[in-house]
Chain A
């Protein structure tokens, strides 16, 4: 290994002492498919002697079998982990590599370069401090190079190494090298990098990787390894205001109540005043507790437990902060979102947001525009597809503490989780809080829902009918409304006729529009409930997540989901509006039950079999259950 071998052999204790002072540098390598990225990392591992003899033996065998370098060793094979990838000859996921020198320990995020894997690059770059952008000297700055640079800048990396690779194939020509640098710097000017270090290399031949190459006498700068060992890690998290999200409340007994978490930024000392934005309460730090003894001071990156002088209400997800420079505390913000899943982002759909240790239901209230990652141009869009980047307004069901990502990388990030599949579907970087959220407080008015409900002498609620087209929803809902009316109840029926033609006439039938359609209906229903009414809604409402959204807008017991369960075959025979016929003929795309899914409710409050019984019977049954 590239360590001080003499010292290791002669005085291991002295060697270990020197090793305790090392730091970690995390970097990412970005390049297109054939830029030689895997070869470069393989070379770094090789030259820092991180390759063992047994691995070398395996490498020699593999190089002959599947290598692309003829009789020479194919360094890339050191890296490609999964069998399927090795056979396809491409890397398809983020992999992490480790090597160390006497100066630093390095963690390399190795990510693929193809078009469709923006997701992986953003993932790998999220923890990196430096990015190596690889350019093939023969090809110059490609579309992919621009994309990689934009994404690098998006996730807040400020230090770039521009590695002009394959210099051996352009005869180590300085003018070619200069030409590429000039082109790159012009394009990168708007990306806000602090430092771009350009190095001419050949990963395959080893030029300027560890040792300065004799074949580039015109180049006076550092070798790649030297630069990686000495580049200043610009993590200025220490100079930022104190922030710590509480992960876990530490209560071993009644006398000890500590708040455990990792310091996101700044410094904390006993005696410092801290504030909890969710309650506005303040207290002073009593102790900083660790198993190795109490600390006089703790800094960004440390995992600690804090006790306070006063008993204030704090739980997981709360943030302890410096009171002079508080974070934003809001339930709406604008953010850059990178979409990471095959199922597109649908504005209005309810997702879970995880920001630090805080988790809350959230929805994208507006997709303002998309960013074309190749041209950096703004583009309009209604949904975000896999690997697309969009600027979104996001609204949460409760406020959380955060900072703009460009000001604080640790407290301005989040992920979005699909509430049914639990997949991580998006990643976001907060731009700023939307002040609307803090300024438009709910006006507390003296006349409230309860007083209206009492005046109406009824329990306001929503009867949410769901089922296939032709299941009988509207027929039954109409009958239920008539019966309620004759009992003296104040009701209102929302259905396709009065909603699609007015409030929602701008919406079509794509998945995104269906989600928005239901969201507006749910919000409207909520206003009617607030007004003390019994609301009946009659819509196919095929997706569980939107029905759940409607449920969550209301209080416990106010949402009655009624599943009108009629087999598809019967609906198709009934076909009251001739829609199934059209859909079967291919004239009506996205028709539920034909080429768009219906997700049946799992636990509806009421389920009625409407294939065989009379609508009047069913309506009687529903009225009996709800009154």
Chain B
């Protein structure tokens, strides 16, 4: 007798197990929804985990007000298609002070609008567990991240006080104010994510597909001119190029890659033949060595 599960089906089943475990053990969980491809897979898995029931927890999007316009349109479309409760949270204080990535630099902006915004959102609704779509293969400091990652009352991650995780047993016990960040996609790689999207025909934001779009070259990166808040410096000029995005975030901080890959198989093909990792397109990682580790300790996802 030999009925072996393929690697995608095994990853799928393990993620569903994790998602159900969180829903069963916590009083007030939330799924952080970033609208990107990993979030799309996570949402799809949540739908599968509870079918025919509705997803029994809300999704929260921390809106920095600098997301690509197509991301927000896509979010609203998904809300109808997948039938989930959506909370949108923005750090109003930061927004009213006009904190933006151009004038304040990526580090300060990310800290206030993303990390701080996330913490405020989690505090406001008193969530005791939050799903994130991070994968261990993304970055070195993530390789040791737990599937249930313990956070103190002020959302801090302490690499030394993480709980050992054995088999498929996850310790969900927290005191009031403390919380768990749960990463059901921990064992997926970028290739797995794309293969699964392909296999399951999961909708993703059109920005992942190549198209001729207006961009400006800045510090060696191609930045999309998504709205008129981006000001061109002397010497800079808008160009029309066939580009796509390997990762999505805030448009001024997310670099496009030149590409003609306009279908899923072409994207996967390009990914397999390429020689740079996806986080290369995220400006936040380049600040200093171990920058992701520092950000995580402060409460970033």
Point out residues on A near B: beta carbons under 8 Å: 1, 3, 5, 8-9, 12-13, 15-16, 19-24, 52-55, 78-84, 93-98, 100, 104-105, 107, 110, 119-120, 122-123, 126-127, 233, 238-239, 247-248, 250-252, 256, 258, 260-262, 267, 289-292, 299, 301-303, 305, 316, 340, 352, 354-357, 409-410, 413-415, 417, 422-424, 427
Contact = CB atoms under 8 A, between A and B. Distances in A.
B52 A247 contact: no
30 contacts: A12-B265, A12-B269, A16-B268, A21-B6, A23-B5, A23-B10, A52-B274, A52-B276, A80-B140, A81-B140, A81-B141, A82-B159, A82-B293, A83-B141, A93-B162, A100-B189, A250-B50, A262-B13, A290-B48, A299-B5, A302-B9, A303-B12, A303-B16, A316-B24, A409-B167, A413-B166, A422-B171, A422-B174, A422-B175, A423-B163
Given A16-B195, A96-B136, A105-B7, A256 B189 contact: no
B290 to A, nearest CB: 4
A289 B49 CA distance: 11
B186 interface: yes
B169 interface: yes
B273 A252 contact: no
B187 interface: yes
Contact of B3 (A13, A299, A423): A299
Contacts of A233: 4
B52 to A, nearest CB: 5
Contact of B7 (A22, A291, A409, A414): A22
B17 A262 contact: yes
Nearest to B169: A415
A247 B143 contact: no
Given A238-B3, A262-B17, A107 B171 contact: no
Contacts of B168: 127, 262
B247 to A, nearest CB: 13
- Counting from the closest, the 10 A-B pairs by CB-CB distance are A303-B16, A422-B173, A291-B51, A83-B290, A252-B53, A126-B166, A52-B277, A95-B143, A81-B140, A53-B275
Given A5-B273, A247-B20, A305-B51, A20 B191 contact: no
Interface string B46-62: 01111111100000000
A247 B24 contact: yes
Contacts of A78: 140
A209 B184 CA distance: 32
Interface string B286-298: 0001100100000
B5 A252 contact: no
A191 to B, nearest CB: 20
Contact of B13 (A239, A301, A422): A301
A123 B6 contact: no
Nearest to A49: B275
Contacts of A19: 195
A98 B193 CA distance: 13
B144 interface: yes
B137 interface: yes
B166 A415 contact: yes
Contact of A52 (B13, B49, B136, B275): B275
Q: Interface centre among A23, A52, A81, A415, by most B CB within 10 Å?
A: A81
Given A55-B277, A247-B21, A302 B5 contact: yes
Nearest to B4: A23
A415 B268 CA distance: 40
Nearest to B200: A292
B20 A20 contact: no
Nearest to B292: A81
Interface string B169-191: 10101110000000000110101
B47 to A, nearest CB: 6
A1 B275 CA distance: 9
A29 to B, nearest CB: 14
Main SS at interface, chain A: mixed
A187 B142 CA distance: 37
B143 A97 contact: yes
Interface string B101-142: 000000000000000000000000000000000001100111
A54 B48 contact: no
Q: Interface centre among B14, B164, B168, B268, by most A CB within 10 Å?
A: B164
A244 to B, nearest CB: 11
Contact of B272 (A8, A93, A299): A8
Contacts of B48: 290-292
Given A123-B165, A248-B20, A248-B24, A24 B10 contact: yes
Interface in B223-281: 265-266, 268-269, 272-277, 280
Interface residues of B, number: 70
A421 to B, nearest CB: 9
B88 interface: no
A12 B186 CA distance: 26
B289 A83 contact: yes
Contacts of A20: 6, 8, 195, 199
Nearest to A53: B275
Contacts of A15: 269
A386 B268 CA distance: 46
A9 B49 contact: no
Contacts of B191: 100
Contacts of B187: 96, 98, 107
B141 to A, nearest CB: 5
A302 B13 contact: yes
A303 B12 CA distance: 8
Contacts of A305: 51
Contact of B24 (A79, A82, A357): A357
B273 A9 contact: yes
A238 B1 contact: yes
A515 B257 CA distance: 64
Nearest to B2: A238
Contact of B1 (A110, A239, A252): A239
A8 B6 contact: no
A24 B143 contact: no
Contacts of A93: 144, 159, 162
B53 A301 contact: no
Contacts of A13: 265
Contacts of B164: 94, 119-120, 123, 340, 424, 427
Contacts of A251: 53
Contacts of B167: 126-127, 409-410, 413
Contact of B136 (A24, A53, A98): A98
B279 to A, nearest CB: 8
Given A105-B192, A252-B52, A303-B17, A83 B275 contact: no
A346 B16 CA distance: 36
Given A20-B195, A248-B23, A81 B272 contact: no
B163 A250 contact: no
A84 to B, nearest CB: 8
Contacts of A80: 140
Q: Interface centre among A13, A105, A302, A352, by most B CB within 10 Å?
A: A105
B272 A1 contact: yes
A612 to B, nearest CB: 34
Nearest to B51: A291
A303 B13 CA distance: 5
Nearest to A19: B195
Given A52-B274, A52-B280, A78-B140, 20 more contacts: A1-B272, A22-B7, A23-B4, A80-B140, A82-B141, A82-B293, A84-B159, A96-B136, A97-B137, A97-B143, A98-B137, A100-B191, A122-B166, A127-B166, A127-B167, A248-B24, A302-B5, A340-B164, A352-B173, A424-B165
Nearest to B194: A16
Contacts of B51: 289-291, 305
B6 A22 contact: yes
A423 B175 CA distance: 11
Contacts of B163: 423-424
Contact of A354 (B3, B171, B192, B273): B171
B227 to A, nearest CB: 29
A3 B272 contact: yes
